[in-house]
Amino acid sequence: MARASAGAGVERTLFSLILLVAAASGARLPARGGGAGIRAQQQTRGGASGTAVFALGSFWRSEASFGCLPGVIRTSVGYAGGSKAFPQYRNLADHAECVKVEYDPRLIQYQQLLDVFWASHDPREVFGQGPDVGNQYRSIIFTNGTMEARLAAVSKEKEQAKDRHSVITTQIQPMGTFYPAEPEHQVAIPSDDLNSARSFYVSFPLVRCLYCVRENLIFQ
């Protein structure tokens, strides 16, 4: 019981920090899954939205890395990059877990999303990310068209130039079919289970994301 209470205290502190940073930065979390929301409708009115898909480890953590960014309208998690039709969480085959980011290009550029992608995981890890080991956790940038492919390639070379002693394992490939994950995976932080390893795993990248917005580290 003591451990449970301590864990709950840590989580409450983390969520308090999230709310404080969000309030200070003016950041508002985007809509999730299929719900557009009033804010999303206002942002896209009169202009088309963009969509980017990234794989950078567990999709819960990946979604948290993008979810608080100004200009991001909604996020959802799913599977892509493989040949199996209609993959499921327990049977992904050769697919990777990924996050789909819908954004307003007037407020955030694709290049800035790439910057967040590189900052949110270790692209030099092989066959997984951190405690998540397996082919489904590999690093991939899925591109839509020649321009995105070019920007992705340039950003990868820039990242590689930071350290020539290890190789960037990130793949760059055209976007095929994005298969949305099951409904239970479309809720990043379960409100009724603050002690779960899942919510703890998501909290830190979300705090980091909000911190980057507050300190203007991404949008310089």
> DSSP string spanning 53-68?
EEEES-HHHHHHHHHT
- Tally of structural domains, the chain: 1
Give CA–CA dist 73/66, Å, rounded.
10
Supply the pLDDT for residue 68: 78
Question: Using one digit for the tens of pLDDT, what is the confidence trace for 139-156?
Answer: 999 999 999 999 999 999
Supply the pLDDT for residue 206: 52
Q: Indicate which CATH number applies to the domain containing 154.
A: 3.30.1060.10
User: Per-residue pLDDT for 185 more than 50?
Assistant: yes
* Residue at 161 is within a domain: yes
Instruction: Write the CA distances from 35 to 5, 41, 51, 79, integer angstroms.
Output: 34, 10, 15, 19
Question: Using one digit for the tens of pLDDT, what is the confidence trace for 25-49?
Answer: 444 444 445 333 333 334 444 568 8
Give CA–CA dist 156/150, Å, rounded.
10
Alpha-carbon dihedral 160, 163, 166, 170, rounded to 10 degrees: -20
Angle at CA 71, nearest 5°, toward 78 and 181?
10
Give CA–CA dist 75/88, Å, rounded.
19
How many other CB atoms are found less than 10 A from the CB of residue 158?
A: 12
* Residue at 181 is within a domain: yes
* Residue at 2 is within a domain: no
* Residue at 15 is within a domain: no
Give CA–CA dist 160/139, Å, rounded.
14
Question: Using one digit for the tens of pLDDT, what is the confidence trace for 63-102?
Answer: 888 887 889 898 889 999 999 999 888 888 899 999 999 9
| Strands 72-80 and 31-32, bridge-based pairing | parallel
Q: Per-residue confidence at 187, pLDDT binned at 50, 70, 90? A: low
Supply the pLDDT for residue 13: 45
Q: Which residue has 């949110």 as its token pair? A: 120
Query: What single letter denotes the amino acid at residue 108?
Result: I
Supply the pLDDT for residue 17: 44
Asked if 30 and 219 count as a contact pair (C-beta separation under 8 A), the reply is no
The values of phi and psi at residue 97, to 5°, are: -70, 135
* Residue at 103 is within a domain: yes
Instruction: State the pTM of this model.
Output: 0.69
User: Per-residue pLDDT for 1 more than 50?
Assistant: no
* Residue at 99 is within a domain: yes
Find the mean pLDDT for residues 104-109: 93
* Residue at 214 is within a domain: no
Range of the domain at 129: 29-188
Angle at CA 132, nearest 5°, toward 198 and 82?
105
Find the mean pLDDT for residues 92-114: 93
User: Per-residue pLDDT for 51 more than 90?
Assistant: yes
